[in-house]
Amino acid sequence: MSPTPILLLLLVLFLSFFFSLIVSEQNGEFETLNTKFNPKLPLPPLKTLSSSKRYEGSSDLVKLKYHMGPVLSSPINIYLIWYGNWPKPHKSLIKDFLNSISDTTVPHPSVSDWWRTVTLYTDQTGANISKTVSIAGEYSDYRYSLGKRLTRLSIQDVIATAVRSKPFPVDHRKGIYLVLTADDVTMDEYCRAVCGFHYFTFPSKVGYTLPYAWVGNSGTQCPEVCAYPFAVPSYMAGGGPGKLSPPNGNVGVDGMVSVIAHELAELSSNPLVNAWYAGEDPTAPTEIGDLCEGLYGTGGGGGYIGEVMKDKSGKTFNVNGIRDKKFLVQWVWSNVLNACAGPNAVDLN
Ligand SMILES: *[C@@H]1O[C@H](CO)[C@@H](O)[C@H](O)[C@H]1NC(C)=O
């Protein structure tokens, strides 16, 4: 056995500890529910050490458990809610990513190869998460009907507004609702601790229990937090690896794609927050995306994103999508490999 993995692990634990000290000083208290954290502002204090995120992982340290709840095993219908001013090319890029999830004709490593890891999760009846994911409807709230400062709760009003407007349906069997906010919309804890989150709506707000996710465009507010590694914090600019070139030339939107991927993986494996997660506390579950935060390729961890690809013009990516698009999406935890997994993995032996 090579000693390298152990050295790496020690390095990662050391770095996680080091960063957790910095962050606990800066951030104080914040809510951790189903949240994508920025890899560079890692995690609530204490949780960092116990959950050992952001590295290729060791099955000894990660105890992902199934808590008997449902997963999204029927073909998944995504209802998109574009909140605020969304230029058409930006929408089209995000839709290309979503429409790539089920397209198995795209050359390897593809977005659908990436989704394959997610489909390995099952519910108690043995039903796998669906391979089929499609956009079933779109709604544009271009007038910012609830203003430019949203909260975790007012996101549910955004969804309520959308489902009340025809022809946008309430699809409580197969629907998930994805609220994407424009770059001038703020959100509780956004940029400080969260880049996206998922949860489910309350019947008192929306009339139904609908799994949903929110992801914001961080392009003008905090790309170095939520669109890393396409922007890097100033404290890293000197020493570190420097920022990478986004695959489609848009820091904010390319950065959103990976956050959307993270939230979709978690929404599918833990839609009602009672299925797949690690940790004992259901109010702060560590889910299949959290476990691989900031990791995009083989060898990643402790601030290094891992081995990814570059095209001729230096744009960074790790998966292919439809219409010749390329994307950089974080890896997700595989219950079969007991490690983070992605289709661009390379054999180091
Ligand atoms: C369903 O999940 C199981 C267990 O992870 C896996 O072995 C199997 O290949 C999956 N089936 C499909 C059709 O993906």
Q: Please tell me the predicted confidence (pLDDT) of residue 280.
A: 82
For a mutational test of ligand 1's pocket, the pick from 66, 122, 133, i.e. the residue with the most ligand atoms closer than 8 A to its C-beta, is 122
**Ligand 1 midpoint to CA 217 (Å):** 34
Between the CA of 129 and the centroid of ligand 1 the distance, in Å, is: 9
Query: To test the ligand 1 pocket, which listed residue (128, 276, 333, 337) has its Cβ within 8 A of the most ligand atoms?
Result: 128
Which of 228, 229, 333 has its CA nearest to residue 291? 333
Spans of all domains in the chain: 4-341
Q: What is the mean pLDDT of residues 173-193?
A: 95
Global confidence as pTM? 0.84
**Pocket of ligand 1, beta carbon within 6 A:** 119-120, 122, 128, 335-336
DSSP secondary structure letters along 96-141: HHHHHTT-TTSPSSBHHHHHHHHTT-B-TT-PBPPS-EEEEEEEEE
Structure confidence by residue, pLDDT tens digits, 64-86: 999 999 999 999 999 999 999 99
Each residue's pLDDT tens digit, 209-233:
999 999 999 999 999 999 999 998 8
- Residue 174 Cα to ligand 1 midpoint, Å, equals 20
- Locate the ligand 1 atom nearest the alpha carbon of residue 131 and give its number: 14
- Residue 298: Cβ-neighbour burial (10 angstroms; 0-12, 13-18, 19+): middle
Closest residue CA from atom 8 of ligand 1: 120
**pLDDT on residue 237:** 64
pLDDT at 133 over 80: yes
- Taking only the tens place, the pLDDT of each residue in 238-267 is 655 678 999 999 999 999 999 999 999 999
The average pLDDT across 144-167 equals 93
Q: Span 94-103, mean pLDDT?
A: 98
Pick the atom of ligand 1 nearest to 122's CA: 2
Of all helices (H) and strands (E), which one includes residue 204?
helix 203-206
pLDDT at site 242: 77
The beta-carbon contacts of 20-24 under 8 Å, at least 24 apart in sequence, are 20/45, 20/46, 20/48, 20/49
Mean pLDDT calculated for residue range 297-314: 93
Q: What is the pLDDT of residues 6-56, one digit of tens each?
A: 444 444 444 444 444 333 333 333 333 445 544 444 333 222 222 233 334
- Name the residue at shortest CA distance from atom 3 of ligand 1: 120
The closest-lying atom of ligand 1 relative to the alpha carbon of residue 128 is 1
User: Which pLDDT value is given to residue 241?
Assistant: 65
C-alpha 119 – ligand 1 centre gap (Å): 7
Nearest atom (ligand 1) to Cα of 119: 14
Residue of the nearest CA to atom 13 in ligand 1?
A: 128
Q: Residue 97 has what pLDDT?
A: 98
Q: What is the mean pLDDT of the chain?
A: 85
